[in-house]
């Protein structure tokens, strides 16, 4: 069963976007972006996601800058953010979480774990989580 929840996935690696789109398309409305600027432009048009999954290391606008931008925006500050990174540095995780990211996952990631984290965040924001894709 598909929900009306929207996920924005932002990553400069097409393979990551493909995994997210493929895994979640049955359940969520998934929009994928190669650049944070494209996602921001879409949000400025009034198309707001329920959750954003964003890579940390991207050209032009980094994941760090993106988190800062979203959290300092009056319009987008409440949108939950999950940051993905190939970096497993504790300092980096702490910095990103302190900037306002809701969660941090190291790549490569297990889509089932990402789904569990999405459901956890949706519950915390008062949105009912969906049943697991498997069950």
CATH number of the domain where residue 72 is located = 3.40.50.2300
Task: Assess if residue 31 is contained within a domain.
Answer: yes
Task: Assess if residue 36 is contained within a domain.
Answer: yes
Please list, residue by residue across 115-124, b when 16 or more beta carbons sit within 10 angstroms of its beta carbon and e when fewer do.
bebbbebbee
- Does the predicted TM-score (pTM) go above 0.75? yes
Residue-range definition of the domain harbouring residue 88: 6-124
pLDDT 10s digits, 20-67: 999 999 999 999 999 999 999 999 999 999 999 999 999 889 999 999
Let me know: does 9 contact 31? Beta carbons within 8 Å.
yes
Task: Assess if residue 130 is contained within a domain.
Answer: no
Q: How many domains does the chain have?
A: 1
Sign, CA dihedral 74-78-84-85, equals positive
Query: Would you say residue 130 has pLDDT above 80?
Result: no
Question: Whole-angstrom Cα distance, residue 1 to residue 72?
Answer: 35
């Amino acid at each position: 069963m598909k929900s009306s929840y929207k996920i924005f996935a932002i990553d400069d690696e097409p393979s990551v976007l493909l995994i997210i789109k493929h895994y979640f398309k049955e359940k969520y409305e998934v929009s994928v972006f190669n650049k944070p600027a494209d996602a921001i432009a879409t949000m400025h048009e009034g198309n707001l996601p329920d959750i954003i999954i964003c890579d940390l290391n991207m050209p032009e606008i980094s994941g760090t800058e993106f988190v800062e931008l979203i959290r300092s925006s009056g319009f987008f500050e409440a949108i939950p953010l999950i940051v993905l990174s190939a970096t497993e540095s504790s300092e980096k995780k702490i910095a990103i979480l302190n900037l306002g990211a809701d969660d941090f996952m190291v790549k490569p990631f297990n889509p089932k774990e990402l789904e569990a984290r999405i459901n956890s965040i949706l519950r915390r924001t008062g949105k009912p989580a969906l049943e697991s894709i498997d069950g």
